Amino acid sequence: MGKVKQTPLIWNKEAETMPRKDLEKLQLQRLQQTVDLVYNTVPYYKKSMDACNVKPADIKSLEDLRKLPFTSKQDLRDNYPFGLLTVPLEKIIRLHASSGTTGKPTVGPYTQKDLDTWAETMARVYTSAGVTSKDVVHNGYGYGLFTGGLGFHLGAERVSATVVPVSGGLSKRQIMLMEDFGATTLTCTPSYALVLAETAAEMGVDFASRMKIRVGIFGAEPWTDEMREEIEAKMNLEAFDIYGLTEMVGPGVAVECPYHEGLHIAEDHFLPEIIDPDTGEPVGDGKVGELVFTAITKEGQPLLRYRTRDRVILNRETCPCGRTMARMSKVKGRTDDMLIIRGVNVFPSSIESVLLTVDGLEPHYLIIIDRPKDRLDELEVWAEAALDLWKRGEYWVKQTEQRITNDLLETLGISAKVKVVEPHHIQRSEGKAKRIIDRRDLTA
């Protein structure tokens, strides 16, 4: 990554720069309290711990974490909606939920203490991105059951920034408000940031001369470094990646600092592990594996060893910014969204990386996988032409298709049918973009 563009600020120096020895002591103490709590209040955890033959008193070191059972999304479904609460519903003052791909949503219940913790971790996020009480935060994450809108709102209030709770949608109005209110910080999904950049361009609004936005905090969906460069160039801002999930707290689990060399995990609240998704065994630092979290300060619904399905690399070295909190790499895909096409493992992010290095394209695309009867899988990639390319005519569009086809073959090792489509052809999203259509029936 390039050089640091701003002096690193830290919200909670005591916690975020704590020597690792002290941090591990604190983590163990909090882990023991949490295990004790769930064992004694959640019948599901008592049952699953008994099945693993482990009692709260067996957790004597952080290594003993491995003795505890994993929690999966299926376990949350089986206990839907309130089966994993440690407190009566009366003590829950907020419910969020994330839409799953099938069936019931995943519930995120919060007590007052949980909301306080969330505000604290989100305050760390803003501060890490250099956002203070002097800033105007244009919050384009969806308000509602999704944790994005209200989570970013809560944190902005905690750092006393001026928050504009605009939510997603009505993009032209957003551009107007951003300019009129002098927003300095944009928070939304990276795909919506691209939509806003495009809308501004259509309206003839130049970010560099008309907007005061200098920071963007983007997350909730995978995005590549190429997409970061694209957004930074189009919006004249510094982009920070933020990670989180409803099962832990929502946004605020991890965020980049100005060094952009990984996302610092709020490890005093969320205890991370990296495991081999097939064996469940730990994978050493520096190696890709599935991220697993234990919520060690949650009150309403603390989950033990929750399997995120996100593939990352962990790094526990102290960062030049001063934080001692472990860093996770950008999410490298999910253990369950990896596409296997004609037997080849394909990560959608690799396709995105290829597309974003080809000139003449907008960063909007669609990946379609099909399995015609009795035939091999077909991979089709639609990429959207920028107006310039489209205007240059069919010959250049075809040349671009050929270039993408070659590049994809080289990178993925399989051939793809590539279609460069006209500007605005691909549906825009206000939240998490849906870029993959898998038409295969893989249950057969």
Binding footprint of ligand DLL on the chain (CB under 6 A):
98, 141, 147-148, 219-222, 241-246, 250-251, 308, 310, 331, 334
Q: What is the DSSP string of 12-81?
A: -HHHHT--HHHHHHHHHHHHHHHHHHHHHH-HHHHHHHHHTT--GGG--SGGGGGGSPPB-HHHHHHTTT
Rg (CA), the chain: 22
Can you tell me the distance from the alpha carbon of 75 to that of 187, in angstroms, rounded to the nearest whole number? Answer: 32
Minimum CB distance to ligand DLL, residue 277 (Å): 14
Place of tokens 């309130």: 82
Q: What is the DSSP string of 227-249?
A: HHHHHHHHHTSEEEEEEEETTTT
Minimum CB distance to ligand DLL, residue 192 (Å): 11
Q: Torsions phi, psi of 64, nearest 5?
A: -65, -10
Can you tell me the distance from the alpha carbon of 332 to that of 263, in angstroms, rounded to the nearest whole number? Answer: 13
Nearer to ligand DLL, 113 or 334 (CB): 334
> In terms of Cα–Cα distance, which of 88, 86, 106, 84 is closest to 96?
106
Q: Torsions phi, psi of 159, nearest 5?
A: -90, 5
Minimum CB distance to ligand DLL, residue 122 (Å): 10
Q: Which residue's C-beta sits nearest to ligand DLL?
A: 219
State the pairing for strand pair 250-256/238-245: antiparallel
Minimum CB distance to ligand DLL, residue 338 (Å): 12
Nearer to ligand DLL, 135 or 241 (CB): 241
Can you tell me the distance from the alpha carbon of 160 to that of 84, in angstroms, rounded to the nearest whole number? Answer: 34
Opening angle at CA 211, ends 210 and 213, nearest 5: 160
Place of tokens 């249950």: 443
Minimum CB distance to ligand DLL, residue 111 (Å): 19
Nearer to ligand DLL, 311 or 364 (CB): 311
Nearer to ligand DLL, 310 or 401 (CB): 310
Nearer to ligand DLL, 53 or 101 (CB): 101
Minimum CB distance to ligand DLL, residue 80 (Å): 15
Minimum CB distance to ligand DLL, residue 249 (Å): 9
Minimum CB distance to ligand DLL, residue 412 (Å): 20
Nearer to ligand DLL, 122 or 420 (CB): 122
Nearer to ligand DLL, 149 or 360 (CB): 149
Nearer to ligand DLL, 130 or 155 (CB): 155
